[in-house]
Amino acid sequence: MPASPDAPSSVDAPPAAIALVISDVDGTLVTSDKRLTPATRAALRRLTAAGIGFTIASSRPPVGLRSLVAELGLTLPMGAFNGSTLVAPDLTILSETLIPAEAAQDAARRFAAAGLDTWVFAHGAWNLTNPYGPYTDLERRTLRTEPNVVADLVPLLDHAAKIVGVSADAAHLEACETEIAKALAGRAEVHRSQAYYLDVTPPGSGKAAFVEAMSRHLGLDPTRIATLGDAGNDVPMFRRSGFSVAMGNASPSVQAAASAVTATNDADGFAKAIADFILPC
């Protein structure tokens, strides 16, 4: 049964030899106002002292990971755009997969028909036509960068690493997710990374593929990798790792897909997961 947001509980016991922890960022590692709490920082220091590696897999673009590298001293490759782009700690692109052009064009048409604001991440930039649309101020604070305002997004669709449909109507966006995921099945991955963001990323290269990439990079069996997340785009990496933890703020379906459930991201759920499941006293 899923735990209450304030009382972590385990469904399955973690493997005794976890060697790497991979965490989602927004809704998991950071609070709702995008802060790293003192407890989270202390938990990461405990992982380092125990010789356990740590990295992140996020829907953010590479530039949105820069502050975390600086604040946490990250040294391993990271997964941007839901893991489809591998990024070194200095933000060098190690590998990149783009959305097939036809699928990107189809996604953009469907976003427009559904009345969603559209962002296109291409050529290393966050591109949009309306700099005052919903959640643009939040994205500025999250990424710590300004958008590239263009008159037309169409020329960028042949080079898109991620396309985001944005809406303040969470119920509408949830319905769009179901419909657009079905329409783009096999051609792109479609998941909400937040209640208000619907991400389209390259097919077959999401967070599960990032778990596999880190397994190869470090020569680790995936059973020695633990993953933490809060959204539907985290479930594939749950399934590829040896142990998984859903946040207390995750939906019931995401919690049901994890090995364990911790507290919410605003109640130090990440730190509690490390203390309760990965490095119990």
Q: pLDDT digit string (tens) for 26-65?
A: 999 999 999 999 999 999 999 999 999 999 999 999 999 9
Q: How far apart are CA 49 and CA 34, in angstroms?
A: 25
CA 31 to the chain's CA centroid: 14
Confidence category of residue 160, pLDDT binned at 50, 70, 90: very high
Q: Residues 6 or more apart from 152 whose CB is under 8 A from it?
A: 129
The residue range of the domain holding 142 is 101-201
Q: Does residue 91 share a domain with residue 15?
A: yes
Q: Please determine, for residue 137, whether its predicted confidence score (pLDDT) is greater than 50.
A: yes
Q: Please determine, for residue 223, whether its predicted confidence score (pLDDT) is greater than 70.
A: yes
Q: How far apart are CA 250 and CA 192, in angstroms?
A: 12
Q: Does residue 111 share a domain with residue 197?
A: yes
Q: Would 152 be classed as within a structural domain?
A: yes
Q: How far apart are CA 189 and CA 186, in angstroms?
A: 8
Convert the pLDDT of each residue in 181-206 to its tens digit: 999 999 999 999 889 999 999 998 78
CA 235 to the chain's CA centroid: 10
Q: Would 59 be classed as within a structural domain?
A: yes
Single out the residue in 180, 201, 222 at which a domain terminates.
Answer: 201
Q: Does residue 219 share a domain with residue 188?
A: no
Single out the residue in 178, 201, 224 at which a domain terminates.
Answer: 201
Confidence category of residue 214, pLDDT binned at 50, 70, 90: very high
The residue among 235, 211, 230, 207 whose CA lies nearest residue 222 is 211
Q: Would 3 be classed as within a structural domain?
A: no
Q: Where are the alpha helices (DSSP H) in 77-202?
A: 101-113, 136-143, 170-183
Q: Specify the number of domains making up the chain.
A: 2
Q: Please determine, for residue 11, whether its predicted confidence score (pLDDT) is greater than 90.
A: no
Tell me which amino acid residue 217 is: H
Kindly tell me the burial class for residue 171, based on how many C-beta atoms sit within 10 Å of its own C-beta (0-12, 13-18, 19 or more): exposed
Instruction: Find the CATH number of the domain harbouring 72.
Output: 3.40.50.1000
DSSP state of 161: E
Single out the residue in 175, 201, 227 at which a domain terminates.
Answer: 201
Q: Other CB atoms closer than 10 Å to residue 48's CB: what's the count?
A: 13
Q: How far apart are CA 54 and CA 218, in angstroms?
A: 12
Q: Would 229 be classed as within a structural domain?
A: yes
| Residue 4, pLDDT score | 42
| Residue 213, pLDDT score | 96
Q: Would 61 be classed as within a structural domain?
A: yes
Q: Does residue 106 share a domain with residue 186?
A: yes
Q: Which residues pair with 163 in a beta bridge?
A: 120, 200
Q: Does residue 214 share a domain with residue 183?
A: no
Q: Does residue 90 share a domain with residue 63?
A: yes
Instruction: Find the CATH number of the domain harbouring 165.
Output: 3.30.1240.10
